[in-house]
Every structure is written in structure tokens, then in C-alpha cells.
């Protein structure tokens, strides 16, 4: 019965996406990216005789989480082809040319027919689902075809449907997995309580990814010139709600401080409005040179792909999204060792909870709380910096644990 409701819901969702596609760019990409997917996939796979493994990520964040495992698999098992799918345009459109996978496409909607045809075409030797992805029809088809299924970097909470008295349909999806590798002990305990025994506490593969990114960081001479030896606050993925706190703070903070702001989305009008609201001189990266940048106190980043390297110049980091949209990646900053600041809605992000509890991160709710927290760290940030750096270092290693399970399944299944 529940499968019928599930499938009806999917049909309704597809109808609504097509309905709004005419005026919503993301919905249009979602619909167009799946148009004639069967023909496109068959053409991609034509002539391939190598075994295929399938990785699925919901969006860009999950892809970055899964990337260490994808690249470790490629290195350890070069004879396999890698197929990578995305649910969201924000993942596919950014990583559709990723060289670490052989085939990249949108995941067709999880209808019974789509799932059957997809698995029949791909014939995967193994399937990987990153963090939160649970698709009933795909899992059923994979299980029916005796394909080993892994979930990694997963995290579970008591309020999820899996653990409700009426959540049997969702619990059955978890039983389809050959192995689930989770981020924390609470997830282990929750799964074992509902009879899921093939569980490993492996941690979060994002720690491996951010450590790699930090080691491979690029020098940005213009940012170093802008810093000019002064304390620097790097603001990553700022939304308007974050700027509503940051701008009043910056207008009243009267000690030496340079600020780099990377908006979550780059809109010229929005950046210009923020510049007019600031009482301190600012410049956009695209318009900066060695002369104009020295006189500015705020640098706006109006490009993508630079943020993870910018953190190397900072003494402090503010990470956006935790007022409404969802907290963005705090580990990229933490790996460089600095106190972290973000909005109040962070409870679903384990690393944020950990770092707040350990004293390296500070949740703020308004200008006053940010001013108080920042001023204290400005006076002495050494302990918070040490904690954030060591936190990342001690959590590295999840990828190796995933690959141990992969090796076992490839040999025994």
C-alpha cells in the first residue's frame, strides 16, 4: 500500500516540476536534464565492456562528500567504469564535466519503470548512495539483481521516519543495503535498534576531502596583498540574512580588520547594494588591482571556485546559511585552524554541533551576539584555532574505512 502512495507521489512531483519549469530555471534544468534519458544513457554505454559501479549524490554538497571515495575507488580499481548521477541541477550543472567519472547524468525519477530500465542498462557491479539518498524503486531493483549496495557518510536522527512506529516502509529501504557506514555513534545505535546490523562507524568522508583541498590550495596573490598583514575575517557563502548581521557589525567595529566576503550566489545588484550599505571602502575582486585593493577594507568575491583557498589567509571565518537556508561547509575553514561563526540553525550539522560544544565555533542570532562573540575571539583566538584544526585532523580516515567494506563486498558478493 505504501509503495502505491510513494509512486503516486513521484508522479505528482514530476507533474509539478513540468508545470513550474516554464518560469523556474532550476525546475527547467531538472526536467530537461531527464528528457529522453534512456536513449542518452544507451548511447553513452554503447560498446562498453568494462564493469560499472554507480555513485549517486543528491547535489553538489553530497558529491563533494563522496568525491574522496570515488577517487579512491578509481585508484584502487582502475578496470571499472564509474557512473555518477545527481538528483539536483546544482550538482549536475557544476560537475557534469568531472573527470573522475566516466558517465555523468541526472538520476531518472524513481518510478518502477525508470528504475528497472536504468538498472537493466547500467548493470552495475556495485551501487553507492551518499549520505541521505534512499530511493525505494532503485533499491528494490538493485536488490533483485543482487547488486551490493552501500550507503556512506550517512547520519540518522531519532525524529526521522525510519524510527517512527508507522515508518515500516522506510525501514524496509534500509534493509536493502548490504552495508551502511555512518558518521556517529548515535546513528549506529538507532540502526541497530531497528535490526540493521551491517553498520560501521566510519565518520564523515568530508574530512578527507577538506584535508585534500587544503593541501592542494592555490595561492591568491591579490588576496595576500589585500590582507597586508592585518587580521582577516573570511565570510563564506553569505546570504542576505547573514549580511543583515555582518554589515551593521562591520560599520561599528573600529579595530584593525580586513574582510573577504564570498556571496552564496553572485548577483551584481545585490553586491552593489551591500557596498553602498557599508561605511568602509570595498572593492570587487573582478575590479581590483594592487592599487585599489590596498585602500579597501572589504573585498567582495564575484567568482566561483576560490573560497576554499581563501580561507588560508584568514584568522576568523563566518559561514553563511544558518539563518534559513542551511549551514554551508564549515570544515573548509576549520582545517586551517580558526574560530568559526554562523547563524542559529545548525543542529542538523554534526560538525557544527561538535565544534560549538568544544569551543571552536560560535552560533550567533543577531548583531549584538555576533559583536560579543567576535570581539572575544579577536582578543585571543589561539585556543579556538587549535581546537578547530585538531578536530579536522582527528576525524580524517573515513574513506579508508569505506574502501575496506568495498574490498570485502567485491570479493564475496
Contact (CB, 8 A) for 188 and 197: no
**What per-residue string of b and e applies to 23-54 under the rule 16 or more CB within 10 Å gives b?**
eeeebbbbbebbeebeeebeebbeeeeeebbb
Give DSSP secondary structure letters for 115-159: HHHHHHHH--SEEEEETT---HHHHHHHHHTT--EEEEEE---TT
Tell the residue number behind the cell numbers 592585518, with chain if given: 230
Write the CB contacts of 222 (distance below 8 Å, at least 6 apart in sequence): 285, 288, 290, 293
Indicate the DSSP class of residue 266.
-
CA 345/CA 332 separation, integer angstroms = 19
For residue 173, the Cα-to-chain-centroid distance in whole angstroms is 23
Residue 201, classed as helix, strand or coil, is strand
Helix (H) or strand (E) holding 342: strand 340-342
Residue 374, H or E segment? helix 367-379
Among 219, 222, 215, 212, CA closest to 302: 222
Phi, psi dihedrals of residue 344, rounded to the nearest 5°: -80, -15
Alpha-carbon distance 86 to 58, whole Å?
5
pLDDT of the chain, 413 residues: tens digit per residue: 667 778 888 778 888 888 888 888 888 888 888 888 999 999 999 989 999 999 999 998 899 999 999 999 999 999 999 999 999 998 899 899 999 999 999 999 999 999 999 999 999 999 999 998 899 999 999 999 999 999 999 999 999 999 998 888 889 999 999 999 999 999 999 999 999 999 999 999 999 999 998 998 999 999 999 999 999 999 999 999 999 999 999 999 999 999 999 999 899 999 999 999 999 999 999 998 888 888 899 999 999 889 999 999 999 999 999 998 899 999 999 999 999 999 999 998 989 999 999 999 999 999 999 999 999 999 999 999 999 999 999 999 999 999 999 998 886 55
Distance between CA atoms of residues 303 and 281, nearest Å: 20
In angstroms, the CA 84 to CA 60 distance is 12
Report which of 65, 1, 8 is spatially closest to residue 332, judged by C-alpha positions.
Answer: 65
Query: Which pLDDT value is given to residue 58?
Result: 92
| Residue 233 DSSP SS3 | strand
Give Cα 328 to chain centroid, integer Å: 7
What pLDDT score was predicted for residue 1?
61
- What region does 287 belong to: left with phi over 0, alpha with psi -120 to 50, or beta? alpha
DSSP symbols for 378-404? HH--HHHHHHHHHHHHHT--HHHHHHH
Cell digits for 385?
584555532
Neighbours of 173 (CB within 10 A): 19
**Pairwise CA distance, residues 155 & 255, whole Å:** 41
pTM: 0.84
Q: Which residue has the cell 524496509?
A: 172
Burial 218-238 (b: 16+ CB within 10 A, else e): eebeebeebbeeeebbbbbbb
- Quick one: cell of 202? 566510519
Residue 322 CB contacts under 8 Å (≥ 6 apart), including other chains: 342, 343, 344, 345, 346, 352, 363
- Reported as half-sphere exposure (CB side, CA atoms, 13 A), residue 306 has a value of 21
Q: Domains in the chain, start-ordered, CATH in brackets? A: 2-203+397-412 (3.40.50.11720), 219-394 (3.40.50.2000)
Helix (H, G, I), strand (E, B) or coil at 254: coil
Task: State the Cα–Cα distance between residues 117 and 271, nearest whole angstrom.
Answer: 46
- Are 177 and 150 in contact, with CB atoms under 8 Å apart? yes
Amino acid at each position: 500500500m505504501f509503495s502505491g502512495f510513494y509512486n503516486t507521489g513521484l508522479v505528482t512531483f514530476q507533474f509539478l516540476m513540468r508545470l513550474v519549469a516554464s518560469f523556474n530555471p532550476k525546475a527547467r534544468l531538472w526536467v530537461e536534464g531527464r528528457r529522453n534519458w534512456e536513449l542518452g544513457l544507451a548511447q553513452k554505454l554503447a560498446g562498453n565492456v568494462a564493469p560499472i559501479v554507480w555513485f549517486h549524490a543528491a547535489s553538489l554538497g553530497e558529491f563533494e562528500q563522496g568525491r574522496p571515495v570515488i577517487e579512491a575507488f578509481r585508484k584502487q580499481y582502475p578496470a571499472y567504469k564509474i557512473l555518477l548521477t545527481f538528483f539536483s541541477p546544482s550538482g549536475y550543472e557544476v560537475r557534469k564535466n568531472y573527470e573522475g567519472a566516466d558517465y555523468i547524468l541526472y538520476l531518472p525519477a524513481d518510478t518502477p519503470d525508470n528504475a528497472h530500465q536504468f538498472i537493466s542498462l547500467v548493470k552495475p557491479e556495485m551501487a553507492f548512495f551518499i549520505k541521505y539518498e534512499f530511493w525505494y524503486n532503485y533499491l528494490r531493483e538493485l536488490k533483485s539483481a543482487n547488486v551490493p549496495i552501500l550507503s556512506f557518510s550517512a547520519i540518522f536522527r531519532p525524529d526521522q521516519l525510519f524510527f517512527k512506529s508507522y515508518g515500516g516502509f522506510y525501514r524496509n529501504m534500509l534493509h536493502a543495503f548490504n552495508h551502511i557506514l555512518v558518521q556517529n555513534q548515535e546513528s549506529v545505535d538507532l540502526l541497530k535498534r531497528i535490526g540493521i546490523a551491517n553498520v560501521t562507524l566510519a565518520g564523515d568522508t568530508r574530512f578527507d576531502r577538506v584535508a585534500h583541498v587544503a593541501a592542494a590550495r592555490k595561492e591568491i596573490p591579490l588576496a595576500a596583498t589585500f590582507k597586508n598583514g592585518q587580521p582577516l575575517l573570511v565570510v563564506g557563502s553569505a546570504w542576505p540574512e547573514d549580511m543583515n548581521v555582518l554589515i551593521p557589525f562591520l560599520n561599528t567595529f573600529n579595530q584593525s580588520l580586513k574582510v573577504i566576503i564570498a556571496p552564496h550566489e553572485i548577483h551584481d545588484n545585490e553586491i552593489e547594494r551591500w557596498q553602498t550599505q557599508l561605511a568602509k571602502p570595498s572593492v570587487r575582486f573582478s575590479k581590483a588591482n594592487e592599487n585599489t585593493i590596498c585602500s579597501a577594507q572589504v573585498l567582495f568575491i564575484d567568482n566561483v571556485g576560490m573560497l576554499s583557498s581563501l580561507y588560508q589567509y584568514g584568522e576568523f571565518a563566518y559561514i553563511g546559511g544558518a539563518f534559513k537556508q542551511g549551514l554551508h561547509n564549515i570544515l573548509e575553514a576549520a582545517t586551517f585552524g580558526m574560530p568559526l561563526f554562523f547563524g542559529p540553525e545548525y543542529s542538523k550539522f554534526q560538525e557544527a554541533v561538535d565544534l560549538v560544544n568544544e569551543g571552536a565555533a560560535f552560533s550567533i542570532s543577531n548583531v549584538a551576539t555576533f559583536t560579543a562573540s567576535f570581539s572575544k575571539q579577536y582578543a585571543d583566538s589561539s585556543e579556538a584555532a587549535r581546537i578547530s584544526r585538531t578536530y579536522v585532523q582527528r576525524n580524517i580516515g573515513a574513506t579508508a574505512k569505506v574502501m575496506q567494506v568495498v574490498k570485502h563486498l567485491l570479493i564475496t558478493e
